[in-house]
Structure 1
Amino acid sequence: MPRDLPPPPARHQRANGAFEVHFATAARGPGAPATVLRHLFQQAPLRVLFPTPEPDEALTAALLNCAGGLAGGDALRQRVRLGPGARATVSTAAAEKIYRSLGPETRVESELSLGSEAVLEWIPQEAILFDGARLHRRMRAELAEGAKLLAAETLVFGRAARGERLTHGSLFDAWRLHGPEGLLWADALELNADIGDRLAARFGFGGAEALGTLLLAGADAVMARDLLRNLPEAAPGAATLPRPGLLLARWLGPATAVRRAVAAAIVTLRVAALGLPSRLPRLWTT
C-alpha cells in the first residue's frame, strides 16, 4: 500500500443542539389553573433552565447555549408548545454570538405552537453576527383560536462594542405566522455577498448597527400600535398593521439604542396586551 499519501483534511466538530418544551395547565388549589411543564427534551449544547418567576410573572424558560456561541456548520432546533390556556415566557440568558464561518452556514430553526387561549412571550436577547458570519434562521408560529403571541428578536451587524461592522458573510432570516384560518404573515430578509454595501447604503440599512423586529398577534393591534407610536423614540422605527389583529414593529439604528427601543416596546405591550407586569423579565436585566 502507498505510504506517502497526505493525511485527510481535518474535520471540525460541529454542534447539533435541540430542545423541546411543552407547557400545559393543571389545577393547583382554588383559582385559575397554573401553567406547568409537561415535557422537556434537550440536546447539547442547548439547555433550558426554569428560574423561579416573580409571583406576578408567567412561568419562565431560560435558554442557554453551553458552547458560548455558534460557528459555521452548527445547527439548533427549538420547539415550544403551549396547551390550551397555558402562559409562558421564553428568553435567552444572554445575547447569542454567531462567529465567523469558514464556509458552512449556522442554521437555527424555531417552532412555536400555541393552543386555544394560550399566551406566549418569545423574547430572546440579541443575536450578534461577527464579521464573516453566515446565519440561516427560520421561525414558524402556529396560533389556535384566542391565542396571543408577543415575539421580538434583534440582529446586531458586527461587534458594535469593538467597532466591528459586518462587511462579508450572509444572512437569511424568515418568519411564518399561521392562525386558525391559515397563513397570517410571511417575511424574509436575505443579505449575501454584498452584505457590507447593503448595510451601509443610504437607501438600504443606512449604516445601522442593528435591526429589531417585534410581532404581536391575537391582541388589540390598533391599541398596541398607538401605544408604540407614543413611546419616546430610542431608535428610528415604525409600527404598522399588516392585517387586522396583527402588529409589526421594526427599529434600525445603533445597537444599544435598538435594544432600548425593543425593551421599551416589550414592557409596554406585555402590560397592555398580555396582562403581565410593567417591567422586563429578570433575564434581560441580570
Structure 2
Amino acid sequence: MAEFRFTAGRSRIARLHQAGCLKLRFPRTPGPAAEAILINSSGGLTGGDRLAVDISVGSGASLSLTTQACERVYRASRGEARIETGVTVAAEADFLYLPQETILFDGGALARRLDVDCAASSRVLLVESVVLGRTLMGETVVEGKLSDRWRVRRDGRLVFAEQLLLDGPVEAIAAAAAGLGGAKAFATVMAQLPDGEALLGALRDIIGPDGGASAFDGLVVARLVAGSGFLLRKRLVPVLATLAKAPLPLVWSL
C-alpha cells in the first residue's frame, strides 16, 4: 500500500506498507512528479502466487508507477497466479500506470484485476501488454490461461469495463482471425485526458494497420498487436509517450 500527496512543491510518499516479495522503489526525479518502481523479487509467478497493490494519489499529486522488468508467468502444476491492483486518483491528480510486458510461458495461468477510481478532473494513463512466449527464444505457448479484468470508475460511475479470457488452447485461439490473427503480443491502452480526442490522428499513425484507437465519454482507448514483444514495444513506447506528453520512465528504454 502506498499513498502519495503533493506537499512543498513536490509529489511525495505519505504512507507506505510493503511485505513479501513485492517491493516499491522510488528513483529521484528532477521535476515535481513522483516515480515508483514495482519489484517482484521472486523472479516470476506461478500457480498459487498472490500479489496485491493498493495505490492512492492525492489531490494535485502526480505519480508514474512502473515495473523493474517484464513479469514472467511460468508453468503452473495447479492453480493460477493472481495480481490485484487497486488505485484511487483524486481531483487534479495525474496517474500513469505503466507496467512492462507480462510474458506468459507455456502452461502458465494468470488472473489479473485492475480497479481504478478517479475524479473527472484527474488525468489517467493505463496500459497492460502481454507477450505469448519469447519469439527469439523459440518459445510457443500452446496451452495456458490469462484472465484480465479492468474496471475504471469516474466520480463513482463506471466508465470502462473489460474482461479478457484466453483459456486452454492459447496458440489456436491466438492464430484465429477472430483472436489475434497470428500475433504473439498485444496491448490495451486507456487514457483520460482533457484533449485525448485531439490525439487520435497521431495515435493511429503510430499504431498503423495492426491495431486501432477510439475516443468516447472522455476516454481514449488503443489496441495494438504484433508478431513479437520487441515489435510491440517499438510502437507501444511512442503511443504511451504521445499520451503522457513526456518521456517514459528510464526502465522502458529499448
TM-score tier (shorter):
over 0.9
Superposition pairs of residues 241-256 of structure 1, within 5 angstroms: 241=215, 243-254=216-227, 255-256=229-230
Superposition pairs of residues 39-50 of structure 1, within 5 angstroms: 39-50=15-26
CA distance in 2 between counterparts of 1:203 and 1:46 reads: 36
Aligned to 2:182: 207
Which string of whole-angstrom CA distances, capped at 9 and with x for unpartnered residues, describes residues 221-280 of structure 1?
2112222023364x7110012x22100001011221111111111111111xxxxx3x22
Q: Contact between 1:98 and 1:133, CA under 8 Å: does it hold in 2?
A: yes
Which string of whole-angstrom CA distances, capped at 9 and with x for unpartnered residues, describes residues 46-90 of structure 1?
01001111x247211011010111111101001111011110111
1:219 CA displacement: 2.6
Mapped pair 1:21 → 2:2: yes
Q: Contact between 2:207 and 2:224, CA under 8 Å: does it hold in 1?
A: no
Structure 1, unmatched stretches of 5+, are 1-19, 28-32, 272-276
Give, as a single letter, the amino acid of the residue that structure 2 aligns with 1:285.
Answer: S
**Aligned partner of residue 42 in structure 1, secondary structure:** coil
TM-score by length of 1: 0.85
1:159 CA displacement: 2.4
CA distance in 2 between counterparts of 1:153 and 1:26 reads: 30
CA distance in 2 between counterparts of 1:74 and 1:223 reads: 41
Q: Contact between 1:152 and 1:262, CA under 8 Å: does it hold in 2?
A: no
Give, as a single letter, the amino acid of the residue that structure 2 aligns with 1:210.
Answer: A
Aligned to 1:143: 118
Structure 2, unmatched stretches of 5+, are none
**Aligned partner of residue 177 in structure 2, secondary structure:** coil
1:181 CA displacement: 5.0
Aligned to 1:193: 168
Aligned to 1:16: none
CA distance in 2 between counterparts of 1:181 and 1:21 reads: 21
Superposition pairs of residues 263-282 of structure 1, within 5 angstroms: 263-271=237-245, 277=246, 279-282=247-250
CA distance in 2 between counterparts of 1:23 and 1:227 reads: 32
CA distance in 2 between counterparts of 1:169 and 1:231 reads: 31
Q: Contact between 1:221 and 1:244, CA under 8 Å: does it hold in 2?
A: no
- Who wins on radius of gyration, i.e. which is larger? 1
Superposition CA RMSD, Å: 1.5
1:191 CA displacement: 1.3
**Aligned partner of residue 212 in structure 2, secondary structure:** strand
Across the two proteins, how many residue pairs are aligned to each other? 253
Superposition pairs of residues 1-286 of structure 1, within 5 angstroms: 20-27=1-8, 33-53=9-29, 55-56=30-31, 58-231=33-206, 233=208, 236-241=210-215, 243-254=216-227, 255-271=229-245, 277=246, 279-285=247-253
Q: Which runs of 4+ in 1 moved over 6 A?
A: none
CA distance in 1 between counterparts of 2:178 and 2:144 reads: 20
Which string of whole-angstrom CA distances, capped at 9 and with x for unpartnered residues, describes residues 139-166 of structure 1?
0100023011011111111122312121
CA distance in 1 between counterparts of 2:234 and 2:32 reads: 21
Once the two structures are aligned, what percentage of the paired residues are identical?
33
TM-score by length of 2: 0.95
